[in-house]
Amino acid sequence: MHEAKGLVLWLRGGKEGLHDGVLHLKLVKPILKLSVADTENSDFTDRTYDILKKWLHLERWNRRYFRAGVAREILWETNEMPEVGGVVHTWTPAHGREALADIEPLVHLLGLHSRHHPELWTRVHEVEAALRGADDRSMSAGMWPFLHLSDDLSRLAEILTPHPTADVVATIQVLRWNPEGANFWIHLHGRNNAGNSHRHEGTWEELKQKGFDFVIEGDVPNSKLKPDLARYFANTPIPHEIIEGPEAKVNLRPGDHSPPIFLRRLPLKTADEPAGNEEESKRGGKAKEGKQKETS
């Protein structure tokens, strides 16, 4: 990447490079190629709209981070959807210091909001991984998955503390999900300072039998997922009811956490009767006593 004071685009001939501060580039294959008749074809115009929209999205990203020394290569064929190629990194001391000054408050902001929003934890872990580098060979490198679990439970404890009525807070961490099924963790932390994590995996039908009801909207990988765990929590050994949780469907990437789910403990079920039928049990007991007196 270069700082250029001008740009020359060559349709034919020409030599690419920076000459006297002016960047010379050859125009090879066009983004779109169309005829007048194509403009009357709604399928074609809808697709070209999507192609141009994707181009604008990719170029905006590059413009945003160019001065920081980061740019993404764009791979394309004429009339086809562009894709992201490699990422180019350069370092210019002046622009680098300026970029770091811009990043610092955003990192602080991420740290602040991640204390209350589990859906940001994956981003925090991505920042940590980037700072350590892809070739991290430290002794702690192999322990990061376990440290992340411990960190998740500690963060849940902080989220639960100010809540006025919840006994437990939980979050779902999705490892994988597709049209066939899902693989995910449920992390929980209670008022007794005890936290634990449980992993569940299976087809959607198998998960439904366990009490997990998921609502999926759209097609994978761009679909949105709304986890409904009310039935699952109501039937655990110590039953709970959900008193607050995500109301909207969320788009979860692999590794993402859901927003917090706050739970309140329900009365324990008796051996013979489900909780909530105490009055019926009492009435049944009195009827039996009356019957015994009549018999005697």
207-217 per-position pLDDT tens digit: 999 999 887 77
CB neighbours of residue 115 within 10 Å? 11
The pLDDT, as a whole number, for residue 55 is 93
- Residue among 69, 143, 75, 150 nearest 102 (CA): 69
Query: What CA dihedral angle connects 142, 144, 146 and 149, to 10 degrees?
Result: -170
DSSP string, 217-236: ES-TTS-EEEEE-HHHHHTS
The pLDDT, as a whole number, for residue 287 is 47
Lowest mean pLDDT among 231-245, 247-261, 263-277: 263-277
**Residue 103: which residues within 8 A CB-CB, separation 6 or more?**
68
Q: How far apart are the first and last CA of the chain?
A: 100
**Residue 258: which residues within 8 A CB-CB, separation 6 or more?**
118, 119, 171, 172, 173, 174, 227, 246, 250, 252
DSSP string, 101-141: HHHHHHHHHHHHHHTT-GGGHHHHHHHHHHHH-TT--STTG
Whether the per-residue pLDDT at 228 is higher than 60: the answer is yes
Q: What is the pTM of this model?
A: 0.56
**Owner of token pair 């404890």:** 157
- Dist. CA 197–CA 189, nearest whole Å: 9
pLDDT digits (tens, 9 = 90+) for 48-67: 999 999 999 999 999 888 87
- Dist. CA 77–CA 61, nearest whole Å: 20
Whether the per-residue pLDDT at 279 is higher than 50: the answer is no
SS3 250: strand
The pLDDT, as a whole number, for residue 53 is 94
- Dist. CA 116–CA 155, nearest whole Å: 8
Average pLDDT score over residue span 268-286: 49
Structure tokens at 78: 């004429």
The set of long-range contacts for 101-110, using a CB threshold of 8 Å and a minimum separation of 24, is: 102/68, 103/68
- Residue among 54, 76, 85, 63 nearest 1 (CA): 63
Q: pLDDT band at residue 138, thresholds of 50, 70 and 90?
A: low
Structure tokens at 79: 């009339």
**Helices in the chain by DSSP H: which ranges?**
42-65, 93-114, 121-132, 144-160, 204-209, 230-234, 278-295
Q: pLDDT band at residue 242, thresholds of 50, 70 and 90?
A: very high
Lowest mean pLDDT among 115-119, 147-151, 159-163, 177-181: 147-151
Whether the per-residue pLDDT at 141 is higher than 60: the answer is no
Lowest mean pLDDT among 138-147, 172-181, 201-210, 235-244: 138-147
pLDDT digits (tens, 9 = 90+) for 56-111: 999 999 988 887 888 899 999 999 999 999 888 887 777 777 887 888 888 888 88
Lowest mean pLDDT among 38-47, 112-121, 130-139, 203-212: 130-139
Q: pLDDT band at residue 205, thresholds of 50, 70 and 90?
A: very high
- Residue among 242, 247, 227 nearest 165 (CA): 242
The pLDDT, as a whole number, for residue 41 is 93
Largest separation between any pair of C-alpha atoms in the chain: 115
Domain boundaries, the chain: 31-94, 118-123+149-265
Whether the per-residue pLDDT at 21 is higher than 80: the answer is yes
CB neighbours of residue 276 within 10 Å? 10
The pLDDT, as a whole number, for residue 282 is 46
